[in-house]
Amino acid sequence: MSKITFFENLKNAMKFLIVSLLLNCTAKMNAQQTITVFDEVLFYDGYAETVDEPVPAGVFRLSNSCFTRKLTDEELALFGNKLTMNITIKAACDNYDRIGNANIALVPKGQESYNYGEVERVEIARYITPFMNKNIQPDEVPYTFDMDNVALLFQDPVILADYDIWIELELFGVPYAANQQVSGCAGRSDVFYGTLEFVTDVDSTFEYSNNFFLPLSFKYLLRDYTLDGTDVLGETVRTINFTLEEDLPNAKFFLITSNHGANSGGEEYIRRWHYIYLDDEEIFSYKPGGLSCEPFREYNTQPNGIYGSSPMTASQWASFSNWCPGDKIPIRVIELGDLSAGEHSFKIDVPDAVFNGDQGEFPMSVYLQGFSVTLDTNDFNSLDFSLTPNPVNNILNINVQDTDVDKVIVASVTGQTVFESSEPILDLSSLQSGIYIVKIQFTNNQTAVQKIVKN
């Protein structure tokens, strides 16, 4: 990333600080805020020449499949430490499953616009459209992403001194099948409507600070049949080297992958093991999919998809489903612990991937982030309260006197809820090793928040 002068950095940082102080007073009186970035923008045929159609004020069409808008200083000042992103895709004239995503573009300060691909970009979410017919209800599908860690980027004075934050909404649609199969779509090139909003709030029980952020890959097309997509021909593998100037505590990889295409017998709905390495040591593995797609059947209103006429069992879906049309792609958070300064490497390997006819790819995005979490323990210091054992292997006990447990939420250090209960004994065997935040609401209306380590 390029740097501007010290005095320009100082001026911009002070400007942002002043705006933040003024506006956060209002924001925290009414903590939850909704920032609508795009409101039913209309995407067109991704293969066609870019259309010249009107767009809302402040919004730019980078291509038929990508819109962008800068977040204003006033909007940035509204963000708290809790953040949810809602995307809604509404049917126009594309009735197939397509991959879409949302990105942050880091645009040099004061630049009025930019061209697609000329600035640093970070994918923060990915989703899959259902097989939708615009004439059948429901004609839209919602996607919700919890991303407290992204709120840190919107408030990082180092980033904001150099860059404006632009948000991109992407969706590559194709209308050709719908032109023939969907009533009212003959001759049309519009494919989907897209809406994106941020909902932000303040949770005073903990605070994030000391943010570190390093983009590593943006939608790299991982594939085994070209050196543009792999380190070794015939293998589906990619290594990214990076350098840390200082020690990085609480480091994490944020990873998004989705297998697509590769003809019959290829990767689109086939589950393959993915292996992640840090400095050539395996640290994480996963097999995409495996969940039932039945909850998304209602959005698949065009009968040309994978659903068929009858519901399938969870085991039937798990035997083959890599993704579900109408679902979001997981954002995999890989806890790394403390990383020392120096040279490091990220590697992903999918040894059993198959690309029939040299087609298909695994778009892969990853970034590195680290930050501190400070807990406010005032709420539970007066309670005779403890969590045992800590560190915990599987079973965690909530020990408390003179009250009972009402609700328990276990969250990752990024704020994503990973476990909920109303019991004082928690079976955490399904959680990965790492650090978690346990928030407990007791029947006497007191709240406890404590950090635990899961072995």
Q: What is the pLDDT along the chain (455 residues), one digit of tens a residue?
A: 433 333 344 344 444 443 444 344 433 434 689 999 999 999 999 999 999 999 999 999 999 999 999 999 999 989 999 999 999 999 999 999 999 999 999 999 999 999 998 999 999 999 999 999 999 999 999 999 999 999 999 989 899 999 999 999 999 999 999 999 999 999 999 999 999 999 999 887 778 888 999 999 999 999 999 999 999 999 999 999 999 999 999 999 999 999 876 667 677 778 889 999 999 999 999 999 888 999 999 999 998 788 888 999 988 998 888 889 999 999 999 999 999 999 999 999 999 998 888 889 999 999 999 998 877 655 445 667 889 998 899 999 999 888 889 999 998 766 678 899 999 999 998 888 877 888 898 888 888 888 888 88
Asked if 453 contacts 388 with a C-beta cutoff of 8 angstroms, the reply is no
Q: So what's the pLDDT on residue 435?
A: 76
Q: So what's the pLDDT on residue 1?
A: 47
Q: So what's the pLDDT on residue 30?
A: 47
CA 43 to chain centre: 21
Domain 377-454 part of CATH 2.60.40.10: yes
Instruction: Specify the CATH class of 204-376 in words.
Output: mainly beta
Q: Distance (Å, rounded) from C-alpha 238 to C-alpha 224? A: 10
Q: So what's the pLDDT on residue 262?
A: 65
Nearest in space to 194 (alpha carbons), one of 297, 116, 125: 125
Q: Is the dihedral of CA 282, 126, 128, 175 positive or negative?
A: negative
**By three-state DSSP, how is residue 94 classified?**
coil
Q: Distance (Å, rounded) from C-alpha 141 to C-alpha 278? A: 37
CA 340 to chain centre: 26
Q: Report which secondary-structure segment, H or E, holds 135.
A: none
Buried b (16+ CB within 10 A) or exposed e, 106-117: bbeeeeeebebe
Q: So what's the pLDDT on residue 265?
A: 67
DSSP class per residue in 410-443: EEETTS-EEEEESSSEEE-TTSPSEEEEEEEEET
Q: Distance (Å, rounded) from C-alpha 450 to C-alpha 447? A: 10
Nearest in space to 289 (alpha carbons), one of 241, 338, 328, 333: 328
Q: Report which secondary-structure segment, H or E, holds 159.
A: helix 157-162
Domain map of the chain by residue range? 1-202, 204-376, 377-454
